[in-house]
Structure 1
Amino acid sequence: MVPAKDFKRRMVVEIDGAPHMIEHIQVQSPSARGAATLYKIKARNLKTKNRVEKSYRGTDTLPESSFERRPIQFLYRDADGCHFMDSADYNQFSMTIDDLKDQIPFMSENMEGVEAMVVDDEVIGIELPDTVDLAILETTPGVRGNSATGRTKPAKLATGHTVQVPEHLDEGVTVRVDTRTGEYLGRAN
């Protein structure tokens, strides 16, 4: 059992008997003495893909969902969906683009470090690494000497995702992006 005060983004908990991944948490501190802090969460049912919004007090608990994590590799994307391979037994499986719309902007072909969440031998979702390195595909040319300014410009990455990068970066540079927020973190080594 996990108390509401310990909820974290991407945690998988049982809500109404089904596994849900927490996507957003809003903490509301009480204004009155003796009132409980409220934790408002937005979560997605991993089987039906429906989103729910619930509120819990800090002492309320939810059972952590029992699922297995398996290392997988993202192979490629086509019109039918996204295709993966289990790294242990080399079995391949597919998921629809609709099921992965939040993760697709960060997925590149033959990507490793991805995990499948499996319940009863059924893949109910995937989890990407917290950061990925992607090349800048399109951006306006970098201006020499602008590395000291804090200005940014939009850059389209190899996956099609657009992110704000420092003005001095050029096309072809590989940058690190946070898959949870979609934000630029820095240059990749």
Structure 2
Amino acid sequence: MARASELKVGFVVAVNGGQYQVRSIDIKAPSARGASTLYKVIFNHLITGQKWEHTYKGDDILPDVDTQHRNMQFVYKDGDFYTFMDNEDYAQHTLSETELGDTAEWLHDGMEGLVGLLVTDKLVAIQLPQSVEKEIIETTPTLKGASATARTKPATLAGGVVIQVPEYVAQGDIVKVNTDSKKFMGRV
């Protein structure tokens, strides 16, 4: 059992007779005295992928689901299906592009450091590492004399993710990006 205040993105809980994974949490702390902190949670159903949102108080209890977290490696993409390999028992699992959602655009062949979420030995979700290194496929040319100021430009990474990068970053550079916020962290 988990309190609403203890929920984190990726947790799987039982809600309304179904199994849902936490996709995002928005915390609202009212300014009035005696008001409790509210947690607006957006869930995705594990099987159907249907989105559902609900607001909880910090002390509300949600029953958790028996899950396993396994280290995984992305092996290959075949059409709309992505194949992952369990690093411990080498079992292969597949997820569709719709099941992966925005996670799919970050994946590349041989990618390691992924965490697979298994419910009754079936892969239901993939959690990305906090940051990944990607090559810049397309961006405007580097400006002569550009410095590390706050001015940015759009850049398309391998996989199709578009982020804002400083002006001094050029096409072909490898950059480190935060997967949650899609923010540039540095050049590698």
Which amino acid in structure 2 is aligned with residue 182 of structure 1?
K
State the match for 2:76 in structure 1: 76
TM-score, normalisation: structure 1: 0.90
Give the structure 1 partner of residue 155 of structure 2: 155
- Per the alignment, in what secondary structure is the counterpart of residue 94 of structure 1? strand
The alpha carbon displacement at 1:174 in A equals 0.8
The amino acid across from 2:137 in the alignment is L
* Counterpart position of 1:98: 98
Question: Aligned residue for 1:138?
Answer: 138
Q: TM-score, normalised by structure 2?
A: 0.91
Give, in angstroms, the shift of residue 5 of structure 1: 2.0
SS class of match (2:40) = strand
118-127 or 16-25, which deviates more: 16-25
Query: Percent identity over the alignment?
Result: 40
For residue 183 of structure 1, report the CA deviation from its aligned partner: 2.1
Give the gaps of 5 or more residues in structure 2: none
Counterpart residue type for residue 171 of structure 2: E
Amino acid of the structure 1 residue aligned with 2:169: L
Q: In the aligned structure 2, how far is the partner of 1:93 from the partner of 1:110?
A: 14
Q: Please give the alpha-carbon distance, in whole angstroms, between the structure 2 residues aligned to 1:35 and 1:91.
A: 49
| SS of equivalent residue, structure 2 residue 99 | helix
Alignment match, 2:108: 108
Trace 1:110-125 onto structure 2 (pairs within 5 A): 110-125=110-125
Structure 1 stretch displaced more, 88-97 or 166-175: 88-97
Q: Please give the alpha-carbon distance, in whole angstroms, between the structure 1 residues aligned to 2:101 and 2:139.
A: 24
Q: Deviations over 1:133-155 (max 9, x none)?
A: 10111111111321232111111
Tell me the amino acid that sits aligned with residue 179 of structure 2: T
Structure 1: where are the runs of 5+ without partners?
none
* CA apart distance, 1:51: 1.1
TM-fit CA distance, 1:27: 2.1
2:55 is the counterpart of 1:55: yes
Q: What is the DSSP-based 3-state SS (H/G/I as helix, E as strand, rest coil) of the residue aligned with 1:147?
A: coil
The whole-number CA distance in structure 1 between the counterparts of 2:162 and 2:155 is: 5
Q: Number of aligned pairs? A: 188
Q: Give the SS at the match of 2:182.
A: coil
Superposed structure 1 runs of 4+ greater than 4 Å apart: none
Tell me the C-alpha RMSD between the 2 structures. 1.7
Does residue 26 in structure 1 map to residue 33 in structure 2?
no
